[in-house]
Structure 1
Amino acid sequence: MLRDPVHNYIYIQHRVILDLINTKEFQRLRRIKQLGTASLVFHGAEHTRFTHSLGVYEITRQICDNFKRNYPSQTAGDGLWDDRERLVALCAALLHDIGHGPYSHTFEHIFQTDHEAITAAILTNPTTEVNQVLRAVGPNFPEQVASVIQKTYPNPQVVQMISSQIDADRMDYLLRDAYHTGTKYGTFDLTRILRVMRPYHDGIAFNFNGMHAVEDYIVSRFQMYQQIYFHPVSRSMEVILGHLLTRAKEIYSDPEAAHGAAAPYLLFPFFQHQFDLEDYLLLDDGTLTTYFAHWRQSSDPILSDLSHRFLDRKPLKSAVFTDQTKAKLPLLRSLIEKAGFNTQYYTDTNNSYDLPYDAYDPKMKKPLTQIELMERDGNLVELSTVSSLVNAITGKFTGDQRFFFPREMIHPEPGNVDLFDPIYNQFQQHLHNDNII
Structure 2
Amino acid sequence: MFTEKLAKEKVLRDPIHNFIHVQDHIILDLINTTEFQRLRRVQQLGITGAVFHGAEHSRFGHSVGAYEIARRITEYFEQYYRSKSPNDGLWQPEERLLTLVAALLHDIGHGAFSHTFEHLFGTDHEAITREIIVGDTEINQVLSQVSLDFPNKVASVIAKTYENPQVVQLISSQLDVDRMDYLLRDAYFTGTKYGEFDIDRILRTMRPTANGIAFDIGGMHAVEDYVVSRYQMYLQVYFHPVSRGMEVLLEHLLHRAHELFTASDTHEKDFVGPLLTPLFNDQPLTVHDYLQIDDHVFMTYISMWRSHPDPILSDLSRRFLDRWPLKSIVINDETAPLLEDLEQLVDIAGYNPKYYTARNDAFDLPYDDYKPNVAKPRTQIDFVLGDGTHRELSELSPLVAAIKGQVSFDNRFYFPKEMLNIEPDELFADTFKTFRSYIHNNALTTPNPES
Q: Smaller-chain TM-score range?
A: over 0.9
Whether the aligned pair in 1 keeps the contact of 2:173 and 2:379 (CA below 8 Å) is yes
Correspondence for 1:230:
239
Report the Cα distance in structure 2 between the residues aligned to 1:332 and 1:426, rounded to whole angstroms: 11
Report the Cα distance in structure 1 between the residues aligned to 2:280 and 2:271, rounded to whole angstroms: 15
Correspondence for 1:288:
298
Correspondence for 1:251:
260
Correspondence for 2:390:
380
TM-score, normalised via structure 1 length: 0.95
Report the Cα distance in structure 2 between the residues aligned to 1:376 and 1:420, rounded to whole angstroms: 69
Return the offset for 1:410: 0.5
CA gap of 1:425–1:42, structure 2 versus 1, over 3 A, is: farther
Whether the aligned pair in 1 keeps the contact of 2:26 and 2:142 (CA below 8 Å) is yes
| Alignment counterpart, residue 30 of structure 2, candidates 20, 38, 60 | 20
Report the Cα distance in structure 2 between the residues aligned to 1:293 and 1:325, rounded to whole angstroms: 36
State the superposition RMSD in angstroms.
1.7
Give 3-state SS (helix, strand or coil) of 1:9's partner: strand
Correspondence for 1:36:
46
Q: Deviations over 1:310-360 (max 9, x none)?
A: 111000000001255423211111111111111010000111111110011
Q: Deviations over 1:96-131 (max 9, x none)?
A: 000011012222122211111110000000x20000
Task: Give unpaired runs (5+ residues) of structure 2.
Answer: 1-10, 443-451
Structure 2 residue 336 is matched with structure 1 residue 332: no
Whether the aligned pair in 1 keeps the contact of 2:187 and 2:194 (CA below 8 Å) is yes
Q: Deviations over 1:148-182 (max 9, x none)?
A: 01100000000000100010000000000011011
| Alignment counterpart, residue 430 of structure 1, candidates 421, 431, 434 | 434
TM-score, normalised via structure 2 length: 0.92
Correspondence for 2:323:
313
Correspondence for 1:415:
none
Counterpart of 1:251 in structure 2: which amino acid? L
Whether the aligned pair in 1 keeps the contact of 2:227 and 2:366 (CA below 8 Å) is yes
Return the offset for 1:258: 5.5
Whether the aligned pair in 2 keeps the contact of 1:7 and 1:55 (CA below 8 Å) is yes
Whether the aligned pair in 2 keeps the contact of 1:339 and 1:423 (CA below 8 Å) is no
Whether the aligned pair in 1 keeps the contact of 2:424 and 2:432 (CA below 8 Å) is no
Counterpart of 1:26 in structure 2: which amino acid? F
Structure 2 residue 344 is matched with structure 1 residue 344: no
Whether the aligned pair in 2 keeps the contact of 1:20 and 1:130 (CA below 8 Å) is yes
Report the Cα distance in structure 2 between the residues aligned to 1:169 and 1:110, rounded to whole angstroms: 23
Report the Cα distance in structure 2 between the residues aligned to 1:81 and 1:102, rounded to whole angstroms: 37
Correspondence for 2:449:
none
Report the Cα distance in structure 2 between the residues aligned to 1:346 and 1:420, rounded to whole angstroms: 17
Residue-pair matches, total: 430
| Alignment counterpart, residue 68 of structure 1, candidates 66, 78, 103 | 78
Report the Cα distance in structure 2 between the residues aligned to 1:258 and 1:209, rounded to whole angstroms: 67
Structure 2 residue 112 is matched with structure 1 residue 109: no
Correspondence for 1:416:
none
Report the Cα distance in structure 2 between the residues aligned to 1:39 and 1:204, rounded to whole angstroms: 35
Counterpart of 1:230 in structure 2: which amino acid? F
Q: Out of 424-433 and 377-386, give the one that drifted further.
A: 424-433
| Alignment counterpart, residue 402 of structure 2, candidates 352, 368, 392 | 392
Q: Out of 396-405 and 251-260, give the one that drifted further.
A: 251-260
CA gap of 1:258–1:62, structure 2 versus 1, over 3 A, is: farther
Correspondence for 2:276:
267
Counterpart of 2:401 in structure 1: which amino acid? N
Give 3-state SS (helix, strand or coil) of 1:120's partner: helix
Report the Cα distance in structure 2 between the residues aligned to 1:106 and 1:258, rounded to whole angstroms: 30
Whether the aligned pair in 2 keeps the contact of 1:252 and 1:258 (CA below 8 Å) is no
Return the offset for 1:276: 0.9
CA gap of 1:118–1:328, structure 2 versus 1, over 3 A, is: same
Report the Cα distance in structure 2 between the residues aligned to 1:217 and 1:423, rounded to whole angstroms: 51
| Alignment counterpart, residue 168 of structure 2, candidates 159, 163, 167 | 159
Report the Cα distance in structure 2 between the residues aligned to 1:427 and 1:2, rounded to whole angstroms: 57
Report the Cα distance in structure 2 between the residues aligned to 1:79 and 1:306, rounded to whole angstroms: 56
Whether the aligned pair in 2 keeps the contact of 1:111 and 1:273 (CA below 8 Å) is no
Report the Cα distance in structure 2 between the residues aligned to 1:297 and 1:386, rounded to whole angstroms: 59
Whether the aligned pair in 2 keeps the contact of 1:244 and 1:307 (CA below 8 Å) is yes
Return the offset for 1:183: 1.4
| Alignment counterpart, residue 145 of structure 1, candidates 150, 154, 174 | 154
Whether the aligned pair in 1 keeps the contact of 2:341 and 2:428 (CA below 8 Å) is no
Q: Provide runs of 4+ in structure 1 moved above 4 Å.
A: 419-427, 432-437
